[in-house]
Every structure is written in C-alpha cells, then in structure tokens.
Amino acid sequence: GWEDLLRSQREYLDEFWDAADVEVEGDPDVQQAVRFGLFHVLQSGARAERRAISAKGLTGPGYDGHAFWDTEGFVLPALIATVPEAAADALRWRHSTLELARERARTLGLSGATFPWRTIGGQECSAYWPAGTAAFHVNADVAVAVERYRIVTGDDSLERDCGLELLVETARLWVSLGHHDSAGAWHIDGVTGPDEYTAVVDDNVFTNLMAAANLRAAAAACTRHPQLAHDFGVTTEEAARWRDAAHSVHIPYDEALGVHPQSQSFTRYGEWDFEQSRNDYPLLLHEPYVRLYRKQVLKQPDLVLAMHWCSEAFTPEQKARNVDYYERRTVRDSSLSACTQAVMCAEVGHLELAHDYVHEAALIDLRDLHHNTANGLHMASLAGTWSALVDGFGGLRVQGERLTLDPQLPAGLTRLAFRMRWHGMRLQVQITGSEVRLSLRDGTEGTLSLLLVGEEVEVAAGAPVTRPWTRRSPLLPRPVQPVGRDPHPRP
C-alpha cells in the first residue's frame, strides 16, 4: 500500500544521502544547488539498464531524449562513487548496444566497435557532422568508465559480465584507427576532441591520451581474465599491439610557447577576434562552424579536460601554463565547461576563479544561465558540480588504482564535506580552512589506504585520520577570459 511505498522510498533516499551528500559552508547557493543536482542525477539513473541516461535526464524534451558521451564522462563518475549499482546498470545498457556499435564500425571501415555520438537505442541518431561523427573519443570514454567502476568499487564482476568485451572491442577500434609513423610514434588522425569548435584534426591530445588509457585497460583486463579474452579471440600478439600503441602514442607539445596544443598545429591557427564577437555568444548561433574550425577558439575545455582525466600525463608547470593559455580562448558555450575549468583552476591555485566556475556550474539551471532550462536540466553540469567540488576543492584523483586527496578551499568556503564509496566502504571527508579529516563509516574490519596531501595514510573504521593542508600559490597570475565571457558573478 501507500505507506509501504512511502517507507521504501524514504529508506532508499536516506541510504542515498548517507552515501552521497555534499556539505558546503560559506556558499548557500552552491549548497542548495549541489543537492538539487545530485537528486536529479540519481533520478536520471533510475532503471538505467533499460535505457540510456539522456543529456536532460527525466526533466524535459531537450535533445529529444538523446544520450551523448556526457553520460560516461560526467554523470557516471558521480554515480560510481555514490550509487555504483546505478552506474553498473548504465554500463550494462551500453553493452546491450554493442552489436549496433560493431555495425557502425563496419560502416566506417573500422574494426571493433564505434559507439554513437548521440543515441536513444544504440543507433547513431546524428547525420554526418564533423564535431560528432569524428568524435571517436566517445569509445574511450565508455572504456575508461568501465575501468573506473572496477577500480573504485573493487568489484570485477561487471568486468567479467560485460566490461571486458567493451574494453576489447573499443581497443580494436583504436588500433584500426591509429597508425605508427616511420619513427615508431603512434598517431590518430582525422578526429574531433571534446571541443566542438575544432573538428577533424590530427593527434588531439585528449583523444590520444584516452585511447592509450583504453588500450592499456583492455590489455590488463585480458591478463586478469585469460579464458574470457580467449573466448573473444584476443591473442597474445593482439594485446601486445595494444600495449605498443599506448606506449608509443604521440602527444604534441609546442616548445616555443611551452604549452600543449589541443591538437597538432592548433597553436599556429589564427586568433579569434573576441572583441568583435563580445555580444554574439553563443558563437554557434552567429558564426558558421567552418570559420570557427580555423581559429583558436574553444566552445568547451578539451586539453584542460585531458589534464583532469589524465592528470599524470602532465607536470604541475605544464598544467599551470596550459590553464593560462586555454582560459583566454574558451568561451564556455557548452554546459560542460565550467565544472571542468573549476577543477583545473583549483589544482593550479586559482581558487577564487575556481569558486566562480563552481557557482556557474551549480546554478546553470536554478538561475537559467543558458536561457534554455525550459527544455530540461543539464545533467552533465549538475553531475559536474559534484566533480568540481570533490575533484576540484577536495583534490580527489584516482591515480593508477590508488585514491588520492589533496584539498584546496577558496577563501569563500569555510568547510566542505563529502561522502563517497570506495571498495564497498563509505568514506567521509571533511575539509576546513586548515585541515582535512577522513573517517570510515562502516564496520570495524574496513581499512583504506590512500595518499592524503602527499602522505601515505591508512584509515580504519573508528580511527579517523586528520592532516593539515596548506594553500598552494599559483605559478602564474589569474588568467583572463575572452571579452564578454567572465564567469557569472557570485553574490
């Protein structure tokens, strides 16, 4: 009856908030918004084994119900850490479309599987479009989500059930798409990265790094499950080719400027006249894409997203210079922008700018900042707000198979606390202006080893760990944004 339904719903939500709540002191707008966002992200993942988690979740008709790479890239990291069973359902749904992805790969003359840019039931629902058809990184986004699920949960049952096949088929795609040059470097040409204002380029750094991660994960998973790998036709020689491609991947670097070009030759493109277009945002409504493709103007973070998701591939100095370079050229015409910029600005020490971006990501729908909330909420930005706070100010990273935390709080926040699951344990993190405290909320047998502010620590149930943290000084001054694209002001 009604009372039973009410009780079960209350118990479910109590369990969710006990594992997922984020507390923000000092910014009541962000506090309200992050809980608003987490609820809708939870709701969007309901029954995800039967349907895709769409860009608008269950909230409106925007994008006609289509799902994009936003799901694996932005929504699943939050779900994996808080409601892992919902994330597993979403990955099982993706696996249920694998045969359609194989057909898509054959249509494009490639091996393995090519997952669609936009879809409802697994078929590609977009006509040819340079920013979509060539966005092969979608496949690595799926694979890396599979790998992240295994690492964070400590559970390899999903990998056995469907994850290994996803890893194998996406690895086969990359080997058929890339090639070695005469010097042995491995390149991927004719692709589009996350930035939709730059299309069909060679050696997009994000794509290359994610493809390499995909290939390494596939090879390692085949070693863990040799019989399954054999059943999928993987030979020792094929896995060796995956490892070789990943090891040899080419990552462009501009020695003169001291930054990574987003893709090969990007830093020699002409500069965009931001002064002339200061009243024309979003640019896609005022400019032909073919003009945007030729200039150094970004719709959303691309190289900066690579630094977040593939953090170990960059030095702190490179991160600082890259953030400075791309902040000046990113117009944030995509709702995927502010959350990523928040994370990386926090890492390089621009904490107030990071706070501005957290506020923008969190309030995108509650303040209708893109003037289109009537079409539905922006699920990736709402989930991205969780990442902006947890990865940005919490300093959470998964390096290899290890959890690391290196917090940084801006002056406007007095306390940040969040909860997450790691290997079945519930970890609570509390950050104040001078220290960080970790505690486990499960039984007496649980012990978690991690890197906290650069120090190896062990947290046991009933034995919390506290360490001081200090604010990092930025290596460079606060960067400026394109004319007319300062972050939305905080109160």
Catalytic residue annotation: 196
Q: How many residues does the chain have?
A: 491
On whether the CB atoms of residues 92 and 47 are closer than 8 A, the answer is no
Query: Pick from 48, 153, 122: which is nearest to 90 by CA?
Result: 48
Helical packing angle, 137-153 and 205-224, nearest 10°: 50
Helical packing angle, 164-177 and 84-96, nearest 10°: 60
> Which of left, alpha, beta for 123 (phi over 0: left; psi -120 to 50: alpha)?
beta
For residue 282, whether the previous peptide bond is cis, meaning omega lies within 30 degrees of 0, is yes
Q: Which two tokens stand for residue 297?
A: 């103007």
On whether the CB atoms of residues 216 and 279 are closer than 8 A, the answer is no
First-to-last C-alpha distance (Å) of the chain: 46
Q: List strands edge to edge, sheet with 435-440.
A: 22-25, 415-422, 425-432, 435-440, 465-468
Query: Pick from 320, 292, 285: which is nearest to 131 by CA?
Result: 292
State which amino acid sits at residue 346. A
On whether the CB atoms of residues 367 and 491 are closer than 8 A, the answer is no
Q: How far is CA 481 from the centre of its chain?
A: 22
Q: Which two tokens stand for residue 16?
A: 């969710």
Query: Pick from 312, 316, 313, 340: which is nearest to 326 by CA?
Result: 340
Beta partners for 429?
Answer: 418, 438
State how far the Cα of 323 lies from the Cα of 476, in Å rounded to an integer.
Answer: 10
Element (H, E) at 133: helix 130-133
State how far the Cα of 210 lies from the Cα of 439, in Å rounded to an integer.
Answer: 33
On whether the CB atoms of residues 49 and 92 are closer than 8 A, the answer is yes
State the sign of the Cα–Cα–Cα–Cα dihedral 144, 149, 155, 159.
negative
Q: Which two tokens stand for residue 487?
A: 């972050």
